[in-house]
């Protein structure tokens, strides 16, 4: 009940925002489709090449001042309302500048890290804590591409660790990550990320790689090592560790902790031919002992956030906090009709810099 109330409260708060980034458009402002292969799913396609001569219902109902009417036209509770508020329109004021590593201003650049899980049409309010619909995911990515400068987690780590001033960071960066390694990351997210040229890090559970949903120990299918390799080799996606068995490292003995850390790192490095030095703790569960064990095992980057999608007190990262306690903004299907840009703005506002 508390969760439901929070969702309603969040929806009410967010619905009161006036969109700052432009007018409503007849269709979700997916950019012009530039599919690189012939098997782009329908929901990934942008608007038709030939503009429709007649205005749509959504366009006709837009307020004269360009604000967005409340999206109440959907009768299906499982479907997100038309996310007109998420329609990204380029704003000249969001052109990124850059800061140089080691300078005072570089230490406090606010860096949001988004966390996604599974992407599926099966989303509904009972399972939405870690699922988002393909349509909403596409809208989110399109919006952040327009409003922010997506960078990879590795780029951020390199910047934080840069001692000679040779690295730069956009003043409005954003980072996309996924946990668990679901097949939908490969089938749904990867084409969108390629289309928009958005880098991402996927933290995988090595013992569930290639498992078929409902048959093994997982509910949803996970991508295979071959698919992981294809994504890794693209240069756009980085595969890192989410342990071997997805257990709570904060609630197990140190021998198991070491096994989880080391086996997952070993498998990723062996199967993908890359260094694995980033870990995201399942359930955000860890202890000081687990952190020390991670460092010893060779993890130089740690994400300590939990998976509480009802937590609206998200924060973002700043370079001077380092990369051993990175916080992320969990995005889920319950936020499918929420303007992700407003969510990020709120997280940025929550970050106090003394
Ligand atoms: Zn997980």
pLDDT digits (tens, 9 = 90+) for 300-317: 999 976 544 445 567 899
Centroid of ligand 1 to alpha carbon of 264 (angstroms): 14
Centroid of ligand 1 to alpha carbon of 116 (angstroms): 10
Q: What percent of the chain has pLDDT over 90?
A: 51
By the 8 A CB rule, do 189 and 119 touch?
yes
Q: Is pLDDT above 90 for 3? A: no
Centroid of ligand 1 to alpha carbon of 171 (angstroms): 30
- The model's pLDDT over 335-351, given as tens digits with 9 standing for 90+, comes to 655 678 888 888 898 88
Q: Domains plus CATH for the chain? A: 2-29+99-350 (3.20.20.370)
By the 8 A CB rule, do 206 and 193 touch?
no
Centroid of ligand 1 to alpha carbon of 62 (angstroms): 40
Burial of 159 (0-12, 13-18, 19+ CB in 10 A): buried
Centroid of ligand 1 to alpha carbon of 114 (angstroms): 14
Residues with C-beta atoms within 5 A of ion ligand 1: 179-180, 282
Q: Residue 304: its pLDDT value, please?
A: 76
- pTM here? 0.73
Centroid of ligand 1 to alpha carbon of 290 (angstroms): 17
Q: Is pLDDT above 80 for 218? A: no
Rounded Cα gap, residues 246 and 252, in angstroms? 12
Which of the residue ranges 91-95, 174-178, 330-334 would you say has the lowest mean pLDDT? 91-95
Centroid of ligand 1 to alpha carbon of 299 (angstroms): 17
Local confidence band at 215 (pLDDT 50, 70, 90 cut-offs): confident
Centroid of ligand 1 to alpha carbon of 242 (angstroms): 7
């Amino acid at each position: 009940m508390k969760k439901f109330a929070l969702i309603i409260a969040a929806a009410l708060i967010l619905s009161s925002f006036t969109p700052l980034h432009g007018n409503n458009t007849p269709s979700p402002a997916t950019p012009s489709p530039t599919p690189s292969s012939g098997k782009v799913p329908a929901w990934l396609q942008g608007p038709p090449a030939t503009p429709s001569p007649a205005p749509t219902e959504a366009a006709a109902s837009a307020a004269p001042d360009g604000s967005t009417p409340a999206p109440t036209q959907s009768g299906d509770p499982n479907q997100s309302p038309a996310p007109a508020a998420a329609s990204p329109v380029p704003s000249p004021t969001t052109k990124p500048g850059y800061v140089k590593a080691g300078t005072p201003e570089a230490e406090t650049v606010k860096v949001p890290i988004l966390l996604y899980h599974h992407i599926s049409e099966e989303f509904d309010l009972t399972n939405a804590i870690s699922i988002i619909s393909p349509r909403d995911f596409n809208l989110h990515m399109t919006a952040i591409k327009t409003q922010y400068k997506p960078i990879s987690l590795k780029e951020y780590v390199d910047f934080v660790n840069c001692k000679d001033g040779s690295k730069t960071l956009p003043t409005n960066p954003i980072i996309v990550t996924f946990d668990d390694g679901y097949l939908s990351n490969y089938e749904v997210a990867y084409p969108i990320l390629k289309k928009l040229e958005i880098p991402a890090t996927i933290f995988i559970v090595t013992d569930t790689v290639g498992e078929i949903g409902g048959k093994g120990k997982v509910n949803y299918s996970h991508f295979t090592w071959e698919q992981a390799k294809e994504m890794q080799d693209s240069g756009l996606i980085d595969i890192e560790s989410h342990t071997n068995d997805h257990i709570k490292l904060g609630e197990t003995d140190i021998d198991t902790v070491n096994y989880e850390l080391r086996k997952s790192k070993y498998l990723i490095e062996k199967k993908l031919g890359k260094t694995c030095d980033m870990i995201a703790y399942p359930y955000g569960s860890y202890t000081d002992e687990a952190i020390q064990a991670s460092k010893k095992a060779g993890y130089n980057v740690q994400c300590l956030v939990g998976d509480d999608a009802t937590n609206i007190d998200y924060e973002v990262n700043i370079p001077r906090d380092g990369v051993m306690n990175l916080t992320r903004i969990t995005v889920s299907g319950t936020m499918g009709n929420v303007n992700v840009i407003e969510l990020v703005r709120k997280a940025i506002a929550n970050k106090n810099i003394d």
